């Protein structure tokens, strides 16, 4: 059975202001102002490895996502996107800083409480689709298994499973083992599994990498529906412009920090808590690392001027400078020597050469 597409005008993706969902949904009964952010990271730092071989994957991430927002995490490979997503799922412990989901600090939760939190509140899609599935279970079996903790009758679970399989175009593959599905089919099944329990927070790492445009559109539609009908907050790592466009707000991570943010098609740099900002990638050729620049306050903002660095000391220049110093030192010594001679008066040889005084 296929769930009908939501009728009538849809709010644009990710555009619910904080706490304002359609009546009767997740925010019902709570005044909007009382709701904490769905996601909050404060100066989040993560270092992998052991002393001597550390990799600083996150270097002080500050991030707030309001309930019902949809956010795309963008950035080059190795920027720290997956690490950040794992922190939001409580799968990693921060080296420093804090992560709060719906007002709860994840480091305050023990292992059992963390597992319950994930089960009840989070839909998670890991980067490798196969990691989200039970390979020996059928597609239908995976969806039934994931709903086991939900308070639903067996027939309601089966209905939900069948509906999701239809939505992602796997209606005909319900009884095929997950391990036998193609990469794209596994990815579609994995997003269905992540959304099966109507989570309050969906965390998806590259949900469309293996999909053709038609399947990707179906997955995007499924995510948007969860947002509009359930108020699901979405944070998705993606390189796919179609996904980023559908989610509305973009956050670009570079070198373990939030570098830029996109809203309503406009890109902004983000000033960090210590006043640092990352130049947009297209300007980095003007200001290579180590460039000296002067920041000047102007009426409408700040101008950043590159200033000429002092001339570099090349080997040839260094040799010339050394030679000049040696010559200068010799001249000084000679001049001092002459001055000394004058002070002492003429030496005997010179005195001898003087004409004899007339008698
Ligand atoms: P992204 O998802 O943006 O590609 P990741 O979060 O996967 O970035 O990785 C960020 C940095 O952390 C990279 O330099 C990566 O090599 C490193 N990294 C990721 N996982 C580990 C790990 N388990 N051990 C050591 N380094 C890791
Ligand atoms: Mg990644």
- Atom 7 of ligand 1: nearest residue by CA position: 82
Nearest atom (ligand 1) to Cα of 205 = 2
55: Cβ below 6 Å to ligand 1? yes
Dist. CA 299 → ligand 2 center (Å): 41
Query: Which string of DSSP letters, residue by residue, matches 346-359?
Result: --HHHHHHSPPPP-
**Residue range 316-327, pLDDT digits in tens:** 766 666 666 566
Alpha-carbon distance of 147 to 154, in angstroms, equals 9
**Residue range 18-69, pLDDT digits in tens:** 333 333 333 444 555 678 999 999 999 999 998 889 999 999 999 999 999 9
Alpha-carbon distance of 227 to 240, in angstroms, equals 19
75: Cβ below 6 Å to ligand 1? yes
Dist. CA 312 → ligand 2 center (Å): 40
pLDDT category, 125, cuts 50, 70, 90?
very high
**Residue range 285-324, pLDDT digits in tens:** 888 888 888 888 998 888 888 887 667 667 776 666 666 6
The domain ranges of the chain are 32-278
Query: Tell me: domain 32-278, CATH 3.30.70.1060, correct?
Result: no
Mean pLDDT over residues 337-350, rounded? 62
Q: Which two tokens stand for residue 115?
A: 């597992």
For ligand 1, mutation pick of 44, 48, 93, 95 (most atoms within 8 Å of CB): 48
Its pTM stands at 0.78
Alpha-carbon distance of 218 to 167, in angstroms, equals 7
The partner residues of 236 in beta bridges, in order of sequence, read 72, 204
Nearest atom (ligand 1) to Cα of 86 = 6
Query: According to the 3-state scheme, what is the secondary structure of 24-89?
Result: CCCCCCCCHHHCCCCEEEEEEEEEECCCCCCEEEEEEEEEEECCCCEEEEECCCCCCHHHHHHHHC
57: Cβ below 6 Å to ligand 1? yes
């Amino acid at each position: 059975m296929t769930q009908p597409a939501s009728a009538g005008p849809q709010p644009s993706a990710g555009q619910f202001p904080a706490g304002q969902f359609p009546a009767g949904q997740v925010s019902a009964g709570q005044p909007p102002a009382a709701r904490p952010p769905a996601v909050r990271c404060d100066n989040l730092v993560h270092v992998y490895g052991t002393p001597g071989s550390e990799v600083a994957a996150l270097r002080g991430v500050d991030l707030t996502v309001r309930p019902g927002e949809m956010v795309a995490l963008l950035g080059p490979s190795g920027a720290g996107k997956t690490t950040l997503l794992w922190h939001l799922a409580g799968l990693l412990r921060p080296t420093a800083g804090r992560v709060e989901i719906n007002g709860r600090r994840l480091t305050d939760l023990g292992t059992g409480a963390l597992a319950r939190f994930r089960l009840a509140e989070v839909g998670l899609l890991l980067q490798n689709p196969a990691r989200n599935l039970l390979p020996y279970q059928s597609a239908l079996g995976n969806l039934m298994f994931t709903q086991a903790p939900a308070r639903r009758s067996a027939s309601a679970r089966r209905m939900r499973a069948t509906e999701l399989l239809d939505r992602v175009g796997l209606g005909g593959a319900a009884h095929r083992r997950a391990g036998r599905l193609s990469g794209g089919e596994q990815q579609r099944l994995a997003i269905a599994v992540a959304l099966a329990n109507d989570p309050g927070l969906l965390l998806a790492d590259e949900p469309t990498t293996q999909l053709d445009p038609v399947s990707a559109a179906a997955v995007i539609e499924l995510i948007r529906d969860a947002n509009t009908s359930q108020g699901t907050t979405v944070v998705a790592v993606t390189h796919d412009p179609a996904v980023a466009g559908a989610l509305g707000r973009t956050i670009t991570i570079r070198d373990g920090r939030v570098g830029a943010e996109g809203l309503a098609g406009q890109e902004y740099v983000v000033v960090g808590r210590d006043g640092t900002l990352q130049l947009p990638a297209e300007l980095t050729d003007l200001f290579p690392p180590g460039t000296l620049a002067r920041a000047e306050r102007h009426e409408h903002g700040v101008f950043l001027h590159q200033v000429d660095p002092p001339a570099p000391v090349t080997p040839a220049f260094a040799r010339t400078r050394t030679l000049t110093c040696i010559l200068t030192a010799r001249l000084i010594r000679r001049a001092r020597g002459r001055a000394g001679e004058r002070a002492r008066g003429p030496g005997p040889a010179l005195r001898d050469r003087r004409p004899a005084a007339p008698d």
